Amino acid sequence: MNLTSEFPAKPVSASVTEMTEVVLPNDTNNFGTILGGKVMHLIDIVGAIAARRHSGNLVVTAAVDSLAFLSPIKAGELIILKASVNRAFKTSMEVGVKIFSENTRDGSVKHTASAYLTYVSMDDHGKPTAIPSVIPETADDKRRYDEANLRRNSRLMACSSEFNR
Ligand SMILES: CC(C)(COP(=O)(O)OP(=O)(O)OC[C@H]1O[C@@H](n2cnc3c(N)ncnc32)[C@H](O)[C@@H]1OP(=O)(O)O)[C@@H](O)C(=O)NCCC(=O)NCCS
């Protein structure tokens, strides 16, 4: 396994990914709002694209942190997902995803959820492989970069205590 990153670091902007979809009736619950599972699916797709753009490799999802749905998105509205890599470690990276709803009649846009996911970069043999580090450029990039390290520590601690039960 190659664990030494010999690749040039990349700015956060290299992984920025945005996806927009219309919420169709088939993806809604009895209240006519989008199913949580559909949102989770889209989060995983947009997050994986950001991770692939950063790493240049295929990736697998290693972890999804807690996810709170702050407000519903109705059928006919748009769901917009924005993702980028907050920080890269050796073979893994944290991706932040922000989800918005847009009502095209009145132009209103609402932040409906946020999620943090960890992806692992895989080589052609399905083994974890080293990735470029992230260059945080803006003040938000830097805040997310610092916070990603704290989240990683508590994530890995929670993960090891789960397996040691
Ligand atoms: C994720 C996976 C590749 C890690 O494999 P592993 O044998 O534990 O590999 P390693 O111990 O070398 O860990 C690789 C990286 O994953 C990270 N990792 C592993 N489990 C993790 C978890 N639960 N949360 C966060 N990071 C995790 C490690 O910290 C390490 O990161 P680093 O190299 O940046 O320090 C493996 O557990 C796996 O294949 N899981 C299933 C993935 C999957 O099927 N996802 C859903 C569909 S895509």
Of 43-47, 85-89, 158-162, give the lowest mean pLDDT range: 158-162
Bridging pattern class, strands 109-122 and 58-64: antiparallel
Host domain of residue 23: 10-163
Record the pTM: 0.94
Residue 3 lies in a domain: no
* Ligand 1 first shell, C-beta below 6 A: 60-63, 89-92, 118, 120, 128, 155-156, 159
Token pair in block for residue 21: 């979809």
Bridging pattern class, strands 134-135 and 10-11: parallel
Residue 149 lies in a domain: yes
Mean pLDDT of 12-37: 98
Distance 15 CA to ligand 1 centre (A): 20
Report which secondary-structure segment, H or E, holds 161.
helix 139-163
* pLDDT (tens digit per residue) in 32-74: 999 999 999 999 999 999 999 999 999 999 999 989 899 999 9
In total, how many domains does the chain have?
1
Residue 2 lies in a domain: no
Indicate the top mutation candidate among 44, 85, 90, 92 to test ligand 1's pocket, ranked by most ligand atoms within 8 A of CB. 92
In the chain, the amino acid numbered 16 is V
**Cα–Cα distance for residue pair 153/157, rounded to 1 Å:** 6
CATH number of the domain that residue 36 is part of: 3.10.129.10
Residue 1 lies in a domain: no
Residue 4 lies in a domain: no
